[in-house]
Amino acid sequence: MKLALFSDIHGNLYALQAVLTDIKARGVDMVFCGGDLVGYGAFPNEVISFIRKDRIPTIMGNYDRGIGHDLDDCGCAYRDELSKALGKRSIAWTGAKVTPENKAYLRNLPERISLKIGAYRILMVHGSPRKINEYLYADRPAASVVRIFETEKVDIITCGHTHLPYVLKLRAGEGVGAETIPHEQSKSQTKPGNIYILVNSGSVGKPKDGDPRAGYVLMEFQDGGVNFEIIRVEYDVESAARAVEQSGLPVEYAEMLRLASG
């Protein structure tokens, strides 16, 4: 059983098309989207249409909630006043572009998806199980992450929102011994038991780790265990950046695509 999870497309149609093509080529059985279909990118309606056409189960992201409910705040954390000002322009532009039908779709997305594959109890969220826009970074203290798992009573939690991919394993009930698996094509097989696994799928359309390629996570369940692989996919970054520059969005977002920066 192969499961693909991607997140944080942010209106980048070129990246989404490349990721879906790669997923289909790998013979994946189940595909999920972790949210944030819109914002920052030039093709919000087109991205939503692709997700809806392919009937991909999708979680609400904080940006989806903001646009779906016609809010003037996406729930993002900006590091300075310039970033905040650019963000205000982005949500205003996106809110004006997204159709009423697509806004209704966004505001009716679920905030979590639960499923069970074999012995694994899996919870999918955008930010964290506690809050849609909470950032779960890989360096979060292990004890605090373990508490989330013990509260939710699951084995695997998947998230996005940070735009930084990782797979983090923690020993249950100890709050110590966290192991982070490197980004690039990393693989790890883990058996269910006393291990909690936190998986961040990174970002399809707006990576922030210095690698401009689109990203997603592939999970393969076999022989009672699960393999994780963080996949990076080449796409036409320059066309996506030029589309931002020509759209009326802040041109700074085009350079962020080229540099894969925040």
CATH number, domain containing residue 131 = 3.60.21.10
Domain count for the chain: 1
Torsions phi, psi of 21, nearest 5?
-65, -45
The mean pLDDT value for 186-206 works out to: 79
Give the pLDDT of residue 103.
98
Give the pLDDT of residue 191.
62
Query: Which residues constitute the domain of residue 195?
Result: 2-259
Q: Count of CB atoms within 10 A of residue 77's CB? A: 12
Residue 189: pLDDT band (50, 70, 90) is low
DSSP 61: P
Torsions phi, psi of 37, nearest 5?
-75, -30
Residue 55: pLDDT band (50, 70, 90) is very high
DSSP 216: E
Give the pLDDT of residue 172.
66
- pLDDT tens for 57-112 read 999 999 999 999 999 999 898 889 999 999 999 999 999 999 999 999 999 999 99
Give the pLDDT of residue 180.
45
Give the pLDDT of residue 190.
62
- pLDDT tens for 129-167 read 999 999 999 999 888 898 999 999 999 999 999 999 999
pLDDT higher than threshold 90 for residue 18: yes
Type of residue at 46:
E
Beta-carbon contacts of 194 under 8 Å, excluding residues fewer than 6 positions away, are 171, 172, 173
From 36, 102, 93, 47, select the one nearest 252 (Cα to Cα).
93
Q: Count of CB atoms within 10 A of residue 13's CB? A: 22
CA 30 – CA 16 distance, rounded (Å): 16
